[in-house]
Each structure stands twice: as structure tokens, then as C-alpha cells.
Amino acid sequence: MQMKLLMDRIRRDGRVEGENILKVDSFLNHQIDVELLDEIGREFRRQFRDRTVSKILTIESSGIAIACIAARYFSCPVVFAKKTKSLNLSGDVYTASVESFTHKTVNDIIVSKKFLQADDHILIIDDFLANGKAILGLSDLVRQSGAELVGAGVVIEKGFQDGGKRIREMGIDLHSLAIVDAMDQETGIRFREEAPGEEML
């Protein structure tokens, strides 16, 4: 279910760059509105209510602040995957390859085996979902560890790119707090219509 407070803020302060980049750096990933992040964290807890979450997993750097505030509501630690150019072959890390949406480079992401264990219940959190590469990479780390993947929480899903579809088709329980179905510098941002019966917050 989408979050009206967040959608209003995106409408007001979001900037469309080029064809498919939404800049929200005045409140989400450069300057950070901590009170809004607090509401976002509360909403993730509400959407994953009744689920056991032992750790939140995210990817550096924009996901970290969001994950940390959400973690206050789940009362659990945050683990962030680090991006690295050189593969660590020591065997003490889980690794996956992720193509960066914004930079078009491929990074290996790593998490120490110490921090993801088979008895963990992992919730993935990230700022944006575009083609799904970041979340697929993170879910691969969870698979390697043998932990349970509870689901994924995303602040902004760009519904006109295919990541959301792929992730839902894989059976991952994905909750996006705002889904942008179209955006244009002139005409602005169009959010996904809620299905009948789904009331907006």
C-alpha cells in the first residue's frame, strides 16, 4: 500500500532527470528529512507486521539511513552490503555482482559471513527499485547464507521499469511505499492507482 505523505513529498520536491532518473536528494538521499524517514520506518513495520525480522539488509550508501531508522521499529540490527571493485577471495564473505542503475558500472557486493546466518530472518530495504539488480543481488546473498528472506521494502518503485515485476514473480514479498508509473519533466509524476478496496494512508 502506498504512503500519501511520501507521495505528496515526491510530487512537491522530486525532480525528473532525463528519461528515468527521479532525484529526491533534498529529502531522501543527500539531504535527509529524518522525520519523514521515521514515518517511512514506521510504515515498513506496519506493512511487515506479524513477521519475524532478525536483521535488515541494505546496500551502501543510500539505503543505510533508511534501514537504520526502520530498524528502530523492528528492534533489530542493520547489515549493509559493501560495494567493492575487487573480489574478496578469502572465503569469509558472501558476494554477488550488481550492475549500478545510476552509474552503469558493475560492482561486487559483499557481506561478511559473520553477519548473515542460517537462522536469520532477513528483510531487505532500499531507496529505489528500478530494474531490480540491487534487490536481486541482496537476495542472492541471503540465499547463500541459508537465512529466510522475509521480503523487501522499497521507498520508491519505478513501476515503468521491470524490477518490481521480476521480484514479485520470484515470490518475494515486495512492499513499495510509492510506485511511480510514469514521469516526465513537463507533465510531472503519475503514481499507480490503488486497486479498489485498498485505502491509501
Q: With contacts defined by CB under 6 A, name the span among 87-95, 129-137, 145-153, 184-192 that binds ligand 5GP.
A: 129-137
Rule CB under 6 A: say whether 9 interacts with ligand 5GP: no
Q: What are the residues facing 81 on neighbouring strands?
A: 59
Minimum CB–partner distance for residue 125 and ligand 5GP (Å): 10
One-letter identity of residue 171? G
Of 45 and 133, the one with the shorter C-beta distance to ligand 5GP is 133
The DSSP secondary-structure symbol of 99 reads E
How far apart are the C-alpha atoms of 139 and 94, rounded to whole Å? 11
Of 57 and 134, the one with the shorter C-beta distance to ligand 5GP is 134
By CB under 6 A, the residues from 138 to 197 that bind ligand 5GP are 158, 163
Kindly report the three-state secondary structure assignment for every residue of 105-165.
Answer: CEEEEEEEHHHCCCCCEEEEEEEEECCCHHHHHHHHHHHHHCCEEEEEEEEEEECCCCHHH
Rule CB under 6 A: say whether 102 interacts with ligand 5GP: yes
The DSSP secondary-structure symbol of 90 reads S
The DSSP secondary-structure symbol of 170 reads T
Q: With contacts defined by CB under 6 A, name the span among 2-10, 69-77, 132-140, 184-192 that binds ligand 5GP.
A: 132-140
Of 113 and 189, the one with the shorter C-beta distance to ligand 5GP is 189
Minimum CB–partner distance for residue 107 and ligand 5GP (Å): 11
Q: Which of 6, 101, 151, 159 binds ligand 5GP (CB under 6 A)?
A: 101
Rule CB under 6 A: say whether 128 interacts with ligand 5GP: yes
Q: What is the edge-to-edge ordering of all strands in the sheet holding 106-112?
A: 93-99, 106-112, 78-84, 55-59, 121-129, 148-158, 174-184, 188-191
Rule CB under 6 A: say whether 26 interacts with ligand 5GP: no
Candidates 32, 136, 124; CA nearest to 79 is: 124
What residues make contact with ligand 5GP under the rule CB under 6 A? 21-23, 29, 62, 101-102, 126-134, 158, 163
